[in-house]
Amino acid sequence: MDSKVYTVSELNAFIKELFDATPPFAQIAVRGELSNYKIYPSGHHYFTIKDSESSLKCVMFKSSAVKLRFRPESGMSVTAFGRLSVYPRDGAYQLYCSGLMPEGTGDLQIAFEQLKRKLSEEGLFDPTHKKPLPRYPKKIAIITSSAGAAVHDMIRILSHRWPMTKVVLLPVRVQGVEAPPEIVGAIRYANRYRVADLIITGRGGGSIEDLWAFNDERVARAIYASDLPVISAVGHEPDVTISDYVADARASTPSNAAEIAVPDMTEEREALYSCGIRASQAMDRRLKQLRTELEQFRSRRVLQDASAYLDDRRIELDHLRDKLISAMENELARKKHNQVALAASLDAMSPLRVLTRGYTMATNESGEIVWRTADLTPGDRLRLRLSDGSAAVTVDSIDGESI
Amino acid sequence: MDINNLSYEQAASRLGEIVAHLEKGNLPLSESLGLFEEGTALMKHCTELLDKAEQKVVMLKKGADGTPEELPFEVES
């Protein structure tokens, strides 16, 4: 006999260690009848599960209890999931319950809940592992049946929203025992040969048995391991599968996956149009500001004595600016009524169009616009912008140096 | 860099930068004009890409050496 004498605390702690080191206890499911069901003001639930011979104490903390989709009551037959451990204060073992399912829940549903818990604890649903989807995917790999309606729904919507994306179909079976290995194989193949920059996998609606391949652990792990982002698109709106939890994005239906995968061309055109308007308005403001500066400059006393030559140049420059601004204002006013010929009209709006009316613009070697003779010295190289190109010129002499 | 070789994504992102620059409003006129011209060309390029885009759909088959082979896939209209 062991001569060691334990304190009660030591012994209870020892037993708790034994429980916690027993792997099946970490995730266990037990079936029985609820009795003595009590909800405490703290939000924790305390109850017993029993059958005709035995009973088991259970506690369900508030964090798990709030996720229950039914109201448990004494007398109900249930399956409880959780961790079996010891409460050292009482020396009693109990089930730390993380979920309850009422009787009548099928075996598949129970298997689903068990797998969901297992993978969740392993971190497969962790939001930090989820990869962002490319904004403008160049190629999308669709892993589904080539026969169903789902593939055609997806292709139709992709082509309507964003025809720039190439669609690469990897046909697989989506139900039956061969389905999970085929889906897994296609996900790995798509990654290995980088056949796309985004994967959509799924199928159309069906019974829980029909959708079962997407509750398969191998499929879940392949989605998790994929370097390419994956959108899961299984069944109809209320169907949720393990694939949905592990994928980088969950779509409620295959059509919805196509909507999530690509931008909408109409919205994209509107965004381009608004970029054009903003650019024009910014140019407009800038030109107005420059004209104001020019007017202040001209009103100065000293400049009123300037030579006729310089006046001419200034007037010319001023006209150029007026025309630039009025051309832009006209175009902007017109564009408010006509949003159709976007690119063409923006081209016409370019301030450079004014050059076609016989004006030229001179820039120095740093590309700055030359305004005044004071900025010039003989021998300077300038570039003259004309309506159809430009010319390099050299300054021979400068008039109007008197100011 | 030739704008016509840019992907939609590259062109759209450059266009966004240009608009942001222009809206700051503190650039010399010649630089503003240059950016405005570039923005106009980028927009034209993006619009053209959208206009001429035509969806391609292929079915992949594993070739004899394992590499993917593209087969036509009949799309329902």
Give per-residue pLDDT as tens, B10-64.
Answer: 999 999 999 888 888 777 777 888 888 888 889 889 989 988 888 899 999 998 8
B8 Cβ under 8 Å from any chain A Cβ? yes
The reply to whether residue A166 touches residue B55, judged by beta carbons under 8 angstroms, is yes
Note the helical H segments in A27-77: 62-65
pLDDT in tens, A210-244: 899 999 999 999 999 999 999 999 998 888 899 99
The DSSP annotation for A205-218 comes to: ---TTTTGGGG-HH
Inter-residue contact A182 to B72 (CB < 8 Å): no
User: pTM (2 decimals)?
Assistant: 0.63
Q: Which of B21, B27, B55, B67 to mutate to test the interface with A (most CBs of A within 10 A)?
A: B55
Band of the pLDDT at A315, cuts 50, 70, 90? low
Q: What percent of chain A has pLDDT over 90?
A: 49
Question: How far is residue A14's CA from residue A89's CA, in Å, rounded to a whole number?
Answer: 13
pLDDT in tens, A28-83: 999 999 999 999 999 999 999 998 889 999 999 999 998 887 788 888 889 999 99
Report phi then psi at A175, rounded to 5: -145, 160
Per CATH, the number for A8-105 is: 2.40.50.140
Work out whether strand A92-102 and strand A198-203 pair parallel, antiparallel, or are unpaired: unpaired
Inter-residue contact A182 to A173 (CB < 8 Å): yes
Smallest CA-to-CA distance from A83 within A22, A32, A142 is with A22
Question: How far is residue B23's CA from residue A352's CA, in Å, rounded to a whole number?
Answer: 19
Through-space distance between the first and last CA atoms of chain A, rounded to whole angstroms? 118
Residues of chain B neighbouring A280 (CB-CB closer than 8 A): 36
| Between A262 and B2, the higher pLDDT residue | A262
Question: How far is residue A342's CA from residue A327's CA, in Å, rounded to a whole number?
Answer: 16
Band of the pLDDT at A313, cuts 50, 70, 90? low
C-alpha dihedral, A344 to A350 to A352 to A356, nearest 10° = 40
Distances (CA, A) of A281 to A314, A323, B24, B39: 25, 16, 12, 13
Question: How far is residue A251's CA from residue A260's CA, in Å, rounded to a whole number?
Answer: 7
pLDDT of residue A330: 64
Residue A222, token pair as written in the block:
């392949």
Question: How far is residue A102's CA from residue A137's CA, in Å, rounded to a whole number?
Answer: 44
Query: CATH classification of A128-263, choosing from 3.40.50.261, 3.40.50.720, 2.40.50.140, 3.20.20.370?
Result: 3.40.50.261
Residue of chain B minimizing CA distance to A160: B55
The reply to whether residue B30 touches residue A363, judged by beta carbons under 8 angstroms, is yes
Other Cβ atoms less than 10 A from the Cβ of A312: the count is: 10
pLDDT at A262 over 90: yes
Question: How far is residue A356's CA from residue A354's CA, in Å, rounded to a whole number?
Answer: 5
ipTM for the whole complex: 0.89
Report phi then psi at A39, rounded to 5: -110, 120
pLDDT of residue A317: 62
Q: Which residues, 6 or more positions from A299, have their beta carbon under 8 angstroms from its beta carbon?
A: none
Write down how long chain B is: 77
Tell me the HSE value of A318 on the side-chain side, using a 13 A CA sphere.
13
